[in-house]
Structure 1
Amino acid sequence: MSRDPIFETLRPSQFITFTIPNPVNHHCYLHTPNIRVAVLDSPVAVSADDLPKIAAMIVPDQRETDWNFCTESGHLQLLFNVPTLSRLILIGNDLPPDPESSIYIRPPVTDTIDSEKLEDKLQQLVMALHPKVCFQKGLPKTLFLTYEDDLLYRVIIARFVGPFVGEFVVEDVELESNVSNKKLRRRLRFKRMPNLIQSQVSLIPGFGDGEFASELNLESLRKMKHTKFHVDTTVLVHPYLTPMVSGLSLIASHLNERIQLGFTPRALCLGVGGGALLTFLNTQMGFQVVGVEADEAVLSAANQYFGLNYEESIQLIVGDAIDVIQNFPSQRTNGDTDDSHVNIDGLDAKFDVIMVDLDSSEAGNGISAPPPEFVKKNVFNSAKLLLHNHGVFIMNVVPLDEVFYMTLIQELKDAFHKVYGIDVGNQDNFVLVATLLPSSSNDHDNAFLKRLRSVIQGAYMDSIVEL
């Protein structure tokens, strides 16, 4: 294949797709008459002193129309998964868009040697898509990436378009599991950032009369006429939600005292998604909850498919999280000690906890949380005014980089008394907890702490460290 001048230079965020006759006609991977090639350059320019890193990926069979691989936003997230990657080339079957296509079944594993032979046959194509600078020190070595996840089966059960988040889907999935029971989930996924699972809850199949069928796979269950699926909102399966709830242990004595005095603890959740966190705080921990979500269509999906019920104990606000907390009804200063309920438009002006689960709406930033515009002194100061004196501020964090993370910690330290970190157990997420006053002793006779330990893993509470 001859070199095209348009690919000879790296141009930040350049995205080009084209189709060519299939040069390999592989029986498993590339089997359509034409193949689709998509080339994306990183938005981050490479240093003049460094040779750019170029990689190619063969799109997994039957995933060609998945947003992860057929959209620029999905392509960008794949690129960001590899540090310092300058250009990512996707090569896949050229399939026409099929809006009715809603089911994915993982195909059998292909022989590793067979995959290597296919990569050898694609060498010439990939080499022609390398920028000219890569040949300064001889012929570059082609880097092929493989895509792996735990998805065995997926069916899209609903599609939505929201005025703020755009297109999104609700999907039921079966994931790989090391236990006998099948790992079934209901998930919420946005097209603007398809590699990020916005929300997920456990999915329970049943036949009525209390009979469940956990040993059958999702594909078989869906073919059975009388199978009904229910979401389990009593457990948290999203990786960072349990650590977030664990942060309540720092104010367990305060919450226990308020409950003994007859007050119902209150939580403000910035970011709702499927509503798993809101429902859990309400039903398992006894909180009154106010949720803030930017898109009403997301709330509709949460209500229809994720068990989020709009009741007096769960109130919802549609709006931008920053605008809401900066304009929230408040008649008391942070120094007030009067705990009598002040109610404006049905909303109490003080909370025991504020939980922040907001991700950046800009795919060009990669997967990151919270949005950069949230990391401001005035935002944190506004949040402080909504907390009781012994309240706590808890945030899910997926940092853009080390500088972003350290800046966020410093901003929280400037605004709050103490800042703590919780080990989530993966390299992507961190949970930060900020307190207004020193945390009090959490004795073992504390009824709230006992309740907390009964519904979440105690290991997360034991991993809380001061930063």
Structure 2
Amino acid sequence: MNLLPKSSKEFSSAEYWETFFKKRQSAFEWYGTYMDHCAVLHKYIKPKDKVLVVGCGNSELSEQMYDVGYQGITNIDISQVVIDKMKERNATHRPTMVFMQMDMMQMEFGDSQFQVVLDKGTLDAVMTDESDGTLHSVDRMFAEVARVLPLGGRFVCISLAQEHIAKKAVSYFSQQGWPVRIHAVEEQITADRQFTMPVFIFIFTKFKKIPGAGHRILEMCMEEQDKPLRLASVEQLLEAVKGRQQYALLRNHLTKNSSSGENVSLTLSDSVSGKPRYTFCIVDLPSVKVSRTNHFAIFIVPQGRETEWLFGTDEGRKQLGKTAGFKRLLVVALHRDQLYESMEAIQSELSGKVLEFAPSGLPANQQVPFLSVGGDIGVRTVQCRGTSDMSGEYVIEDVKGEDGNYFRHLVFLNNVNVVQSEAKLLHTISGQSVTSQKRKKKDKRRGQSCSQTEKTSNPKPGQAVDKSYLCCDHHRAMVAGLALLSEKGALVADTPFSLLVVGLGGGSLPSFIHDYFSQSTVDAIEIDPMMLEVATAWFEFSQDSRMKVILADGLNYIRTAVDSGNGSYDVIMFDVDSKDTTLGMSCPPPAFVDDVFLLKVRNLLAPQGLFILNLVCRDSTLKEKVMGVIKGIFPLIYLHKIEGEVNEILYCQLTVELKARSKDLLEAGHILENTLKKQSSYWDETYNLAEMLKTVTIV
């Protein structure tokens, strides 16, 4: 029997409901039963309260409330048919419960007659759209509800909280000075469930409107046992509702279906602070053969490691899932500003939530394993917080890496999945750094002494950064590319050359070149003054006669330098990111690969010069366009793709006569690497410059 209306507007039609209740004999529970809502209802409705139920229909809600002690209940509905049926159904067992046919937009009750007005789905039936007529009807409904309530009375509204309905209700009553609290009802997923959308209970409490009062009480309760979360604006409250709806829809979808290779993720917030606490990424692997024990597992990413390729990219998480061997893997990242006691405490906290994302077919009473790396939750220490006028809020944090070493990260909070700058800290063992011990052994072999001891039990600004270590593979590749300045890499290390780097960050790349290429002069262009402060205070960056930072827009600096004709550079490097995260290219900003501007870059290079670009582009069409522009400007381009990352390093030169054969590049890489080892007391053996050049191709 089809009882659904032909259009949503019929929900507000008296004729529709008359027909509906003639055909529908049994109780119809639109948004769950009394048992679904009683925990919240009992908090706001006292047994002795006079309760008015508007749009009662043939729901059993009033009857069940009556049976547990709420006997001052009056029910109204626009349909005389349903009122007659409800009177007949309750005449014997509930003699004092009142049923009346009445239009709730023009009620016959006196002012302040009820302590509670209870609505289950009626507002949703009335507000089918946002036409003038509908909005007028809703205003009449709200005015009548306010009229029959005394000060301190409560309008309890059970709703699906569709966006236009929630916005109207919250805005209306908050403007009247009424405190607003919204409870998200804990829904159970069942095969016969009427709705996949979650249900909310709005609590509007009648307060006297105070003219000029600016502060409104707006609260959200995500779970039954949670304390209310106070929010600053109507927009924030509605956003919290929307987040809960998206969570429920995703949960329903994933319980019944596979993510089918989609990038599916969601964030759970702390119920007290409202700040993000966990981010879930769902990895489904259709190719995994299912057994009883490999349906589902949860992987906890240690703090500070969520940006690593294995945990922070779609490809990496798929690889993690294949290695783990589960049909569905839920990868859980931990957020900064949150306290986590132990891995066991995290498992206990998540045990109820994670099962909501289990795939269909999970055997009953199946133990779901928690997986991680190293068995602990990792270490993340926020050392500094700040705000850049250009880039927004940022944090400086120290994290523990997989190998036990500690690293310092600069992260902008508008893009928390990207480490803007990274440096290795001098990790101590018994008061002496690991790096110092390695250097001492190396210096002894070379007949030198080293008595310096570096401690990092409490890293402080400018005291604990290992400037000889390049954390980023793309920085290592950019250094390796300097071998292209000549066929013999030794000439690069021993011969003076000038370098322009656009993009300072933490300063690790220009610092490394300054320290290891003793005859180089480096100009670093940085548009954000705050980044120079951060690099100096937290990444041990410093300037001298060979290292100069120019605070300027890199675009303007290069244009002005070319137009003035004042000198040129042997090497120009672009390592600058885009602040617009909606673009398919995060590095560099599009203006830096415009054909007119790249002509300026070409004109600023010395005749035998080298232009090195860090390109990060996920949009294949855009990347093809960018490559076409670069090829039109530079006749010789080498390409190095960094394994496991999106980064591609382009080495661009001005003449094809400089083209080197593969074996020449390999030899130049070996010579450069061996020469650089002699420039400092320490060289990290993981820097294999020759191997990087071995994979270079000409495009």
- Indicate the TM-score class for this superposition, using the shorter chain for normalisation: 0.5 to 0.7
Q: How does 1:190-229 map to 2 (within 5 A)?
A: 190-206=412-428, 211-212=432-433
Q: CA deviation at 1:395?
A: 1.1
Hey, what's the Cα distance between the residues in 1 that align with 2:508 and 2:539?
7
> Aligned pair in 2 of structure 1 residues 420, 61: CA closer, same or farther (>3 Å)?
farther
- 1:384-403, aligned counterparts within 5 Å? 384-403=602-621
2:610 is the counterpart of 1:376: no
- What amino acid maps onto 1:273 in structure 2? G
Q: CA deviation at 1:249?
A: 2.0
Contact 2:278 2:333 in 1 (8 A): no
Secondary structure at 2:617 match in 1: coil
Contact 2:612–2:650, Cα closer than 8 Å, also in 1: yes
CA distance in 2, matches of 1:147, 1:411: 46
Paired residue for 2:634, among 411, 416, 431?
416
After superposition, the C-alpha distances for 1:112-154 in whole angstroms (9 at most, x for unaligned) are 999685355589xxxxxxxxxxxxxxxxxxxxxx999998211
Between stretches 59-68 and 350-359, larger displacement belongs to: 59-68
Give the corresponding residue for 1:189. 411
Output the TM-score relative to the length of structure 2: 0.46
SS at match of 2:476: helix
Please give the per-residue CA displacement for 1:143-196, whole angstroms capped at 9, x wherever unaligned.
Answer: xxx99999821111122222211221211111233xxxx121011111222211
Could you give the per-residue CA deviations for residues 188-229 of structure 1, whole angstroms, max 9, x where no partner exists?
111222211011010014489x82268xxxxxx987799995
Q: Does 1:278 align with 2:504?
A: no
* Partner in structure 1 of residue 481 of structure 2: 247
CA distance in 1, matches of 2:587, 2:609: 22
Contact 2:269 2:277 in 1 (8 A): no
Instruction: State the 1:427 CA deviation.
Output: 3.5
Which among 251, 269, 280 is matched to residue 501 of structure 2? 269
The alpha-carbon deviation at position 382 of structure 1 amounts to 0.7
TM-superposed CA distance for 1:450, in Å, is 3.6
Query: 1:424–1:61: structure 2 CA closer, same or farther, 3 Å change rule?
Result: farther
Q: What letter corresponds to residue 479 of structure 2 in structure 1?
A: V
1:439 aligns with 2:633: no
In structure 2, C-alpha distance between the alignment counterparts of 1:460 and 1:225, rounded to whole Å = 33
- Specify the SS of the correspondent of 1:289: strand
Checking the alignment, whether the CA contact within 8 Å between 2:562 and 2:600 is kept in structure 1 is: no
Q: Secondary structure at the match of 2:504?
A: coil
Distance 1:366 1:412, change over 3 A: closer
**Cα offset, 1:402, TM superposition:** 0.3
Output the amino acid matched with 1:277. L
1:159 aligned to 365, 379, 385, which one? 385
- Which structure 1 segments of 5+ residues have no match? 9-17, 42-50, 70-76, 84-90, 96-100, 124-145, 215-220, 333-343
1:295-334 matches, cutoff 5 A: 295-328=528-561
Structure-2 residue corresponding to 1:135: none
Give the secondary structure class of the aligned counterpart of 1:427: coil
- Name the structure 2 match of 1:139: none
* Kept in 2: contact 1:271–1:292 (CA 8 A): yes
Task: Return the alpha-carbon distance in structure 1 between the equivalents of residues 265 and 516 of structure 2.
Answer: 47
* Greater per-residue strand proportion: 1
CA contact (8 A) 1:61 1:107 kept: no
> What are the residue-to-residue correspondences of 1:14-413 with 2, within 5 Å?
20-21=183-184, 23=186, 32-33=226-227, 38=243, 55-59=264-268, 65=275, 107-108=342-343, 118-119=353-354, 121=356, 152-177=378-403, 182-206=404-428, 211-212=432-433, 230-253=464-487, 264-286=496-518, 287-328=520-561, 349-365=567-583, 368-413=586-631
The amino acid of 1:298's aligned partner reads M
**Greater per-residue helix proportion:** 2
Q: 1:359 to 1:444 in 2, by over 3 A?
A: closer
Task: Note the alpha carbon deviations across 1:416-443, whole angstroms, 9 max, x for none.
Answer: 0111111211232111111112235555
Asked whether 1:429 is paired with 2:647, we answer yes
CA distance in 1, matches of 2:585, 2:493: 38
Q: Could you tell me which amino acid in structure 1 is paired with residue 512 of structure 2?
A: F
Structure 2 residues without counterparts, runs of 5 or longer? 1-30, 32-158, 166-180, 188-221, 230-239, 247-259, 280-306, 316-331, 359-369, 436-454
Is 1:416–1:436's contact at 8 Å kept on the other side of the alignment? yes
The residue aligned with 2:163 is: 6
User: How has the CA–CA distance of structure 1 residues 382 and 113 changed in structure 2, closer, same or farther, with 3 Å as cutoff?
Assistant: same
Give the Å deviation of 1:253.
3.2
CA RMSD, 1 decimal: 4.7
Identical pairs, percent? 20
Distance 1:428 1:174 in 2: 24
C-alpha separation between the residues in 2 aligned to 1:20 and 1:157? 37
Distance 1:463 1:255, change over 3 A: closer
Alignment partners' CA distance in 2, 1:401 and 1:222: 42
- Give the counterpart letter for 1:460 in structure 2: M
Conserved in 2, the CA contact under 8 Å of 1:207 and 1:228?
A: no
SS state of the match for residue 362, structure 1? coil
CA contact (8 A) 2:489 2:671 kept: no
8 Å Cα contact 1:206-1:229 kept in structure 2: no
- Indicate conservation of the 8 Å contact 2:269/2:276, yes or no: no
Give the Cα separation in 2 of the matches to 1:259 and 1:176: 33
Distance 2:410 2:277 in 1: 13
Higher relative contact order (CA 8 A, sep 6+): 1
For 1:13, the equivalent position in structure 2 comes to none
SS of the aligned residue for 1:383 comes to helix
Matches of 2:552 and 2:245, distance apart in 1: 34
Counterparts of 1:309 and 1:108, CA distance in 2:
40
- 2 CA distance for matches of 1:435 and 1:226? 42
- Per-residue Cα deviation, 1:271-313 (whole angstroms, up to 9, x for no partner): 0100000001110123211111110011011011111101111
CA distance in structure 2 between the partners assigned to 1:110 and 1:164 by the alignment:
39
- Cα distance in 1 between the residues matched to 2:462 and 2:492: 41
In 2, Cα distance between the equivalents of 1:92 and 1:172? 17
Do the aligned residues in 2 keep the contact of 1:330 with 1:386 (CA within 8 Å)? no
Task: Mark the structure with the bigger radius of gyration.
Answer: 2
In the alignment, the residues of structure 1 paired with residue 478 and residue 523 of structure 2 have an alpha-carbon distance, to the nearest angstrom, of: 16
Q: Distance in 2 between matches of 1:106 and 1:174?
A: 16
Aligned pair in 2 of structure 1 residues 255, 105: CA closer, same or farther (>3 Å)? same
Aligned letter for 1:357? Answer: D
Aligned counterparts of 1:58 and 1:395: Cα–Cα separation in 2 = 34
